[in-house]
Structure 1
Amino acid sequence: MGKITVGCRVRGKTKKYQGKVGVVSAVHRVSRQNSYDVTWTNGSQDTVAARAIELERRASSENTLHEPPNLMQDPAYTSFSELLRESNAAIVADFSSSSNSSAAEDTNASSSSDEQEEDDTVIAHGRRWKPCHSVLFDQGSHVQPRPTRFYMGALDGSTIAKYFYLMYPMPTLKSTLACTNANLAMQSHRQIKVGDWFKWIGLRLAMAVEPRSGPLRVYWESECKEGFVGTPANFGQRYGMTRHCFEQVLYCMSFTSDPTAEDPWKPIRPIVDGFNERRKRVVNPGNILCIDECMSAWKGRESKYCHDGLPHKTKIARKPEGKGTEIKSIADGQSGVLLGLELVEGAVRQREKLYAREYGEGTSVVLRLSEHYRGTGRTIVADSAFASVKTLVQLENRLGLFFMGMVKTASVEYPKKHLLEWFNTAPRRGDFKVFSSTTEHGNQMYAICWADRKPMTIISNRGTTLPGSDSVRTRHRLIERNGLVETMRYEKRISRPQMVELFFSDFSTIDIHDHYRQGSLAIEREWITRNWTHRLFSTILGMIVVDAFLAYRYDMSNREQVDGEDCSFKGLCLSWLIS
């Protein structure tokens, strides 16, 4: 069956529409199949799924007994056809909440929608792109440089512990203690205070920084077992909390008193909301913000199989921890501190969030995470899960922000086909090709392909094509010298324009944050639990610790009190715990 487009004559296939004949007036791209607005010959109009209709074909064999009705003689169809010719029917593109399904739709849409005119102008899905030999002016150059600032308040900021208290969501502390103490009282246990709570957190971090094999009780052993080498942890005497008290807090820990079925994420929602509000109050980020996803590893139960399982599990094979809760996050490019979190709650709940039905999943996430920085002229940097022409346009229209992103599958209105054709001509490594287009406000946006080992296709309304600093990669080669084989270390330099340099300067901010949290601290690996609320809290606690380290390193390096490159993450954590 051929492709159904606007103006095609169709007939019903299913029982509901059997015998009906009409004309397609609009095409809607939703989920995994299209839906169509069809005006029938009787004048009525319905929105039908793709499986409910098919293209009408006239009978061509001798066995055909009935001819299809002549729609041109129907006055309702004639009037509609005149209106259809007078107006330009628009195809409404609506991305699904799943990034995978939206990527598939974009790939299908980009297969046959690019055209090239005689003057090398490119038409990509109705958007006109002109070849641009050079970009000499950065549209974001008028934005004043702003260093990242942390509002310490009464905290002096002399130790990493003070930065931890700065980053911890203090407004949630009262409710956390109230809910936890209520559970402790039900078990006839001693209630805890603020000092006990932070002491408990300190013990958890000590277990992550110096993990020991065996059950929880090995951390409270005061004597080393015979035949073993090492020193006992002896947490009871060192930190002043017994193992029984630690376990009681662990089993009774809670963040809300009234979990409801309407919001399956209510048990952890106060911590996430408190995290976001705290960052808005104490962190004033720089000009570059990075958006990416984080993962909270979870291999336990899911709610679709048991009543107390994780409400929604995301599976991403390419991630080091590919199964668990996906968390969309935004971070400051200068310091690396996280500025906001958003839980991925499942396809149905994601579609109910702000901007989702209007712009799709990728664009709506970017708009929600960067809403707080409306009108500040900051630049959002994102990977292919969020980057598209639509994201750039809506960030400019709604929030007054700049955007730079790597385009892979979401290529609607993007001249990806022509950029890849240029790359297939085997340009020299480091060369680039640029197209320019105009937004609704008359500003320029650029589609650039930088020839690296693979093509890097970027959408941006920032930067220039003036020479930037080279991309430096460390390489190794085996050489033979005096009969011995040695390893020679050298640098490979690849030229790139300033636009590409600006994009990659803060592109991996959240990935670096994940390496500290999942690799160096690894609190999720040490804190073994079957409670998904505890797992998410351990993830957010790890984010708070990493943020405290990054903020401390950023401020101390600016004051020249410590070398930011040589500042050890585990070393600072140990000094904090020992002090």
Structure 2
Amino acid sequence: MIARMATTVGPLSESDIAEARTLVNDVDDDNRPAPENIPARNESVPNIFNAAWGHSGSCNRKKTGPRDYKPRLEFGNNESMPTVLKIFESFFFQSFIKNVIIPATNQTMPGNRPLTYGEFLVFIGLWLLMATIVGPERRDYWSTKPIDMFEGAPFRLSHYMSRARFELILRHLSFTDKQAPPLLDRFWQVRPMISAWNDNMSRVFSPGWICCLDESMSTWINQYTCPGFMFVPRKPWPFGNEYHTICCGISGILFAMELVEGKDQPRQLRNEEDNFGKTVGLLLRLTRSLWGSARVLVLDSGFCVLKGLIELAKKGVYGSALIKKRKYWPKYIRGDEIKDHFKDMPVGSVDSIGGNLDGIDFDVFCMKEPDYVMMLMSTYGTNIRMGEHKNRDGVEAFQYPEVVHNHYQYRHQIDDHNNKRHQPISLEVTWATKTWENRVFAYLLATTEVNCNLASSFFIGEPPLPSLSFRKELARELLLNPYFNRNVATDERPKRKRTCCEHTFTTLRAYTKWQGSDIIPSSSIYPQRMCKGKHRKVRTYCSCSPGVVMCEECYAQHKLEIDGQ
């Protein structure tokens, strides 16, 4: 049922949404209030607003001085114009790939030819190139048949890497060098990778003066194989993993993310910032690199928690959030009184009312629309109108006040980034996998690809390329990267009986098990299977035959058979 809904073109119907709610354990509903906005029983909320409407004309942010930052990309001492490959290497946590992913992959990969950094870039480039076409199966790209315009893939990849080598790397791809923790943590293999991506972006990229925070989705269909599986009805890709993401409003580059772990988050790993509340804690974590910079953060109604804006202001970050009634008005907000205040005002009228919480001044900026009153809580801004003149139902054109203008101008940046990642061909869908950790890596790769396209455009000063055109250009640079020694012998095996790897008697790591020839996570610490010779249950195997369980007797017989060939 979920698979059918996930492939539905266009928004889900009300009946599909209702049915999905009964099937999925975790739902992020647009009508559900933030936890901090749910009133406690018998709670008395004080009135923290000023007695009279109107704005003082003074902006809290501008009092700190001019802070019109421009986006900046750090390339060390390299003063030349960066290439697409250099931008990609800067964005895609190069040190983590070299120090963690490649060594961890080599540790489980059989044979005496280790994976190198240059070859890993070729591996990524192959995925990007395959994601420029829809239709062919993966094996078609290595077919020995002549290229046919009516059948199979329109190009071949064997010139860059044999299919055997590609599948070997894919089968043993690992993203952590740590052992499974003693507690049940379904995210332990990807948490260091996401953290490394965030740390790297904070080092190499500095956003502009205004940023946008919103949700992003990474598609997945089976909730039983996906830790943190969420259903988000309002998203074009409603099933899978939800990420809270933040991007630069000027360049559109996404620079921080947090995977929503939901009900699968271990209780022992709760975040310290959540003591302020879940929404407040999230805002503090994602904006850590912005603290003290007086930057502006644009938020939609899902993050409309006044306490969150106040805590951000204490950290030197100014924000605004759209006010929307989700069963309740956000805490402290007297929404019905605000609507009564604007009842007889003409469309386009603007007013604000100030208040103070924990010693921090804030304002609720309001603008009369034809059928509702737009409200924004903010710790910066004035009622000064700016931007283009806008029309409403034939009413005389008017300008938006500053905070409303910034909201409309920058609120869509995360959605635009997501659209570039998903359309016209999604890399995450092309990388069809049953290994959830690979999907997380594919999400990071796809996000980095969009960042590279935006950065190439913004810092070079040219319009961004269409997504597929840029993907081909990036794939070309990765496939032809200067780090890969193409004179190394390939792992192609024309003869079926030929072996190209050493025979090592190996034991599975804790919390892993076999699924076919793939090693996947296990909820049990030492799961066992009956050996090849039906002697007993073990966890050992020969490195040349992944998935074939062997005891000592089976391994000895196996060696005799191999040596006799």
Q: With the length of structure 1 as denominator, give the TM-score of the two structures.
A: 0.69
- Aligned AA (1:417): D
Whether contact under 8 Å (2:34, 2:303) holds in the other structure is: no
Name which of 102, 106, 115 aligns with 2:37. Answer: 106
2:108 aligned with 1:204: no
Could you tell me how far 1:448 is from its partner in structure 2?
1.7
| Residue of 148, 160, 181 corresponding to 2:84 | 160
- The question of whether the paired residues in 1 share the 8 Å contact of 2:33 and 2:302 is answered with no
The aligned counterpart of 1:572 is 470
Note if contact 2:298-2:321 (Cα within 8 Å) is conserved in structure 1.
yes
Residue 171 (structure 1) aligned with residue 91 (structure 2): no
Cα distance in structure 2, aligned partners of 1:359 and 1:99: 22
Alignment partner of 1:321 out of 220, 237, 244: 237
Partner of 1:362: 279
More strand by share: 1
Q: How does 1:97-496 map to 2 (within 5 A)?
A: 102-103=33-34, 106=37, 125-141=46-62, 142-153=65-76, 156-173=80-97, 174-185=99-110, 188=111, 190-208=113-131, 210-221=132-143, 223-224=145-146, 228=150, 232-237=154-159, 240-257=160-177, 258-260=179-181, 262=183, 263-302=185-224, 309-347=225-263, 349=265, 353-397=270-314, 399-408=315-324, 409=326, 411-423=330-342, 425=343, 427-441=345-359, 443-453=360-370, 454-470=372-388, 495-496=399-400
Q: Secondary structure at the match of 1:414?
A: coil
Query: What do residues 34-88 of structure 1 show as CA deviations (whole Å, max 9, x unaligned)?
Result: xxxxxxxxxxxxxxxxxxxxxxxxxxxxxxxxxxxxxxxxxxxxxxxxxxxxxxx
| Equivalent residues of 2:249, 2:410 under 8 A apart | yes
- In 2 relative to 1, CA 168–190 (structure 1 residues): closer, same or farther, beyond 3 Å? same
Q: Decide whether the 8 Å contact of 1:445 with 1:460 is kept in 2.
A: yes
User: 2: CA distance between counterparts of 1:229 and 1:491?
Assistant: 58
| Native 8 Å contact 1:99 1:361 kept in 2 | no
Could you tell me which amino acid in structure 1 is paired with residue 235 of structure 2? Answer: K
Are the structure 2 counterparts of residues 317 and 494 from structure 1 closer, same or farther at C-alpha, using a change threshold of 3 Å?
A: farther
- d(CA) in 2 for partners of 1:384 and 1:168? 31
Contact 1:395 1:403 in 2 (8 A): yes
Shift of 1:139: 2.2
Q: 1:70-126 deviations in whole A, cap 9, x for unaligned?
A: xxxxxxxxxxxxxxxxxxxxxxxxxxx99976547736579997xxxxxxxxxx643
The one-letter code sitting in structure 1 at the alignment partner of 2:209 is N
Moved more, 144-153 or 401-410: 401-410
C-alpha RMSD over aligned residues: 3.1
Tell whether the 8 Å contact from 1:222 to 1:233 is kept in structure 2 after alignment: no
Number of equivalences: 439
**Structure 1 residues 412 and 159: CA distance shift in structure 2, 3 A:** same
| Paired letter, 2:87 | Y
**Residue 530 in structure 1 maps to residue 447 in structure 2:** no
Partner of 1:34 in structure 2? none
Q: Does the Cα contact within 8 Å between 1:110 and 1:412 map onto a contact in 2?
A: no
1:347 Cα offset (Å): 3.9
Task: Find 1:498's aligned residue among 389, 396, 402.
Answer: 402
Give me the whole-angstrom Cα distance separating, in 2, the residues matched to 1:512 and 1:551.
15
Letter in 2 for 1:335: S
Contact 1:99 1:385 in 2 (8 A): yes
Contact persistence 1:402–1:462 (CA under 8 A): yes
2:13 maps to which residue? none
Cα distance in 1 for partners of 2:150, 2:391 equals 45
CA apart distance, 1:402: 1.1
SS of the equivalent of 2:154 reads coil
User: For residues 460 and 110 of structure 1, what CA distance do their matches in structure 2 show?
Assistant: 28
User: What corresponds to 1:546 in structure 2?
Assistant: 450
- State the 1:392 CA deviation: 1.5
Question: In 1, Cα distance between the equivalents of 2:151 and 2:435?
Answer: 34
Amino acid at match of 1:554: F
CA shift digits 1:107-158 (9 cap, x unpaired): 6579997xxxxxxxxxx64323344334533221224222111001255443
* CA drift at 1:334: 1.5
C-alpha distance in 1 between matches for 2:453 and 2:465: 9
* Matches of 1:466 and 1:281, distance apart in 2: 36
* Contact 1:290/1:330, CA 8 A, preserved across alignment: yes
Q: CA separation in 1, counterparts of 2:106 and 2:261?
A: 29
Give the C-alpha shift of residue 357 in structure 1: 4.6
In structure 2, relative to structure 1, the CA distance for the partners of 1:374 and 1:313 (3 Å cut) is same
2:67/2:294 contact within 8 Å kept: no
User: 1:299-319 CA deviation, whole Å, 9 max, x = no partner?
Assistant: 1242xxxxxx22221111111
Q: Distance in 2 between matches of 1:539 and 1:491?
A: 45
**Deviation of 1:206 (Å):** 0.8
Q: TM-score with structure 2 length normalisation?
A: 0.71
**CA distances 1:313-365 after superposition (whole Å, capped 9, x unpaired):** 11111111111111112222221212211111124738753355532111110
**CA deviation digits over 1:10-46, x for unaligned, max 9?**
xxxxxxxxxxxxxxxxxxxxxxxxxxxxxxxxxxxxx
The equivalent residue for 1:67 is none
Q: Partners of 1:350 and 1:287 in 2: how far apart? A: 36
CA offset at residue 232 of structure 1? 2.8
Native 8 Å contact 2:350 2:368 kept in 1: yes
Counterpart amino acid of residue 105 in structure 2: T
List alignment gaps of at least 5 residues for structure 2: 1-27, 478-565
Distance of 1:573 and 1:493 partners within structure 2: 42
Gaps of 5+ in 1: 1-96, 114-123, 303-308, 476-489
Q: Letter of the 1:253 partner, please give it.
A: L
- What is the CA distance between 1:439 and its match in structure 2? 3.8
CA contact (8 A) 2:125 2:476 kept: no
Q: Distance in 2 between matches of 1:531 and 1:198?
A: 20
Contact 2:381–2:402 under 8 Å retained in 1: yes
Deviation readout 1:424-473 (Å, 9 max, x if unpaired): x26433222311112433x5311122223543211012111112113658
SS at match of 1:449: strand
Q: Secondary structure at the match of 2:366?
A: strand
Q: 2:109–2:169: 8 Å Cα contact kept in structure 1?
A: yes
Tell me, yes or no, if the aligned pair for 2:35 and 2:279 is still in contact at 8 Å. Answer: no
Secondary structure of the structure 2 residue equivalent to 1:464: coil
How far has the Cα of 1:212 moved from its partner? 3.7
Q: CA deviation at 1:533?
A: 0.6
| Aligned pairs (5 A) from 1:35-46 | none
Deviation digits for residues 199-258 of structure 1 (CA, Å, limit 9, x no counterpart): 0000111111x2241321112235556672797311112xx1111111111111111242
Secondary structure of 1:403's aligned partner = strand
| Aligned partners of 2:428 and 2:442 also within 8 Å | yes
SS of residue in 2 equivalent to 1:331: strand
8 Å Cα contact 1:143/1:377 also seen in 2? no
Give the C-alpha shift of residue 514 in structure 1: 0.7
